[in-house]
Structure 1
Amino acid sequence: MASSSFLTICSSSSTSSSSYYNNYSSTIPKLPFSVHPFESCSVSLPKPPFDSRIHAKFDKFEGTDSLPDVSSPSLQPTLIQQDQQEEEDNQDDSCLPSDLEGAVRQSSEASAAFVSSGGMRAIVELLIPQLQFLDDEGAQGELWELSRIFVDTLIQETGCERVKAIFPDAGAAALLKYRWDDAAFSFASLSDRKPVEKEDEIVVMILPDYQMLEYVERIASDLSGEPPRPLIMWNPRLISEDVGVGFNVRKLRRYFLRSFTTVYSMKPLPTGAVFRCYPG
């Protein structure tokens, strides 16, 4: 007998502001390898309230023995319920991107909506395989290209041109600045003496890791001055399993990461994904 079950879990919460953080258990090795500021720009995106929605989807299939007689009157209500459930499942699937590039664009749109609503500190998490193979030059190259899609989309969605992308080290920043000579954003690295200028209006940190945590916190502090400016961390790796759960990690979780809102999170699963997207 064949049976299949599909479970969709949707939970939503409505609050004026939310903070989320994730613990990262893997390290990011030292990478071998740094958009223009604007005086004013109008962001005309809507300002919806913040709702978080988590979708967890699972499919389960078992062996087949025999098929029921669908013409039986006793089965008609069951079949109608199954059709209604499938229709609801398809509607839930519509919010999920069809590919990785689509997920990156969707995460940038969520970030733009958050910034336009007055949000200052955001985290974007795309738990993709490339993050586990940062030693590999090919995986690094794919991540850099995805990060450009994110920043370019952010500029398009907000209408702001004075955006700065901060990369993990000076080598990466210099290499990408050379390759992307047509980029509409400016470049910097976490180790630069002055990575953020007063003209920068939106700052995006690309793959900041725990080894550069001091620089990350310093930049975040500078951006919280007057006037405050938005900071988006794209796939941060600020907690290492090698460090353990000591005082510094607890302090990081309690004081620093709590000040950020996870505006986008996607964790692929074999039969679905755990998904959160601002505003809901």
Structure 2
Amino acid sequence: MMLLKIISKRAWCYKSKHKLFRKKMTAACLLTWRVQSGNLAKLVHLFVSSGGMRAIVELLIPQLQFLDDEGAQAELWELSRLFLDTLIEETGSQRIKAIFPDAGAAALLKYQWKDAAFGFSSLGDRKPVQSEDDIVVMVVPDYQMLEKVQKIVSDLSDDPPRPLIMWNPRLISEDVGVGINVRNLRRYFLSTFTTVYSMRPLPAGAVFRCYPGLWKVFYDDKDRPNRYLLGQEFVRRPDAEEIEIIFGNTGDNSEQGPSLFSKAAGVFSSLNRFMRAISK
């Protein structure tokens, strides 16, 4: 009985600690996106104005990758609203259509956001895009809906072609049941898009891309707190091995791997520091 009480207490403490961390991470995400939302809209507008048709905007924070987590959906929708509103301000009178993953989310948000200046639809709609839509933004499109995503992309390529922006897409799955050919097809499809903005915080650095610049891998400057050094630049997204080599060369390896919370806290701290650095 005593053992059960101890286990129950530890589980409660873990859950409470997890919730507290989520709240801090949520605040950081919202602050990050508010700081960068105006710049993101300018980047997308620059890309579209120069003739670009397929763009990706992504903030690769673990918390934003799991829609099943409690509260994660509400956080995602709030962040997407910030991006959509600033994109409307930047593009002026152009009509923007936001496509959400499912009809339930689209209906709920349309009800909650009665003052929204953009249109609503879902990937499950029979005709999610109308002829009067000038720019289409897909919010967190999922790999399970890839065929519908591809259909919309194909339709938007018709005369006259219209720009499509994917916001935090999740079209790549590493599930064991997914064959290599399917994965390659997904990666090829994504290669037809230009990543206009990408931020991936790491415990001791970040991977960053801001259109039209190169991909950059930064790591902590151990001699100057809250400063970063440029490790390397790439013309394409660096893979895991290339990132590992860069951080290995900085001597940032430890004998014992960090705990889950230590690793998450490292990402949280890195995000705050990196955003302060690039916002100066």
Bin for the TM-score computed over the shorter chain: 0.5 to 0.7
1:119/1:230 contact within 8 Å kept: yes
Residue 107 (structure 1) aligns with: 40
After the TM superposition, which of the residue ranges 160-169 and 126-135 deviates more from structure 2? 126-135
Residue 248 (structure 1) aligns with: 182
Matches within 5 A, 1:121-200: 121-200=54-133
4+ long deviations beyond 3 Å: none
Picking from 190, 207, 226, the partner of 1:274 is: 207
Structure 1 residues without counterparts, runs of 5 or longer? 1-96
Higher relative contact order, structure no. (Cα contacts within 8 Å, ≥ 6 residues apart): 1
2:103/2:121 contact within 8 Å kept: yes
CA distance in 2, matches of 1:161, 1:179: 23
Structure 2 residues without counterparts, runs of 5 or longer? 1-29, 214-280
Matches within 5 A, 1:186-225: 186-225=119-158
Q: 1:201 to 1:236 in 2, by over 3 A?
A: same
Q: CA deviation at 1:223?
A: 0.2
SS at match of 1:147: helix
1:104/1:146 contact within 8 Å kept: no
The structure with more helix, counted as a fraction of residues: 2
TM-score, L = length of structure 2: 0.62
1:205/1:231 contact within 8 Å kept: yes
CA distance in 2, matches of 1:252, 1:132: 18
2:173/2:183 contact within 8 Å kept: no
CA distance in 2, matches of 1:165, 1:117: 22
Largest Rg, 1 or 2: 1
Matches within 5 A, 1:6-17: none
Amino acid at match of 1:265: S
CA distance in 2, matches of 1:101, 1:155: 15
CA distance in 2, matches of 1:264, 1:225: 26
Q: CA deviation at 1:245?
A: 4.8
Any idea what the Cα deviations from partners look like across 1:25-79, whole Å, max 9, x if unmatched? xxxxxxxxxxxxxxxxxxxxxxxxxxxxxxxxxxxxxxxxxxxxxxxxxxxxxxx
Amino acid at match of 1:241: E
Amino acid at match of 1:264: Y
Q: CA deviation at 1:146?
A: 0.6
1:165/1:205 contact within 8 Å kept: yes
CA RMSD of superposed structures (Å): 1.8
% identical aligned pairs: 70
TM-score, L = length of structure 1: 0.62
SS at match of 1:154: helix
Q: CA deviation at 1:108?
A: 2.6
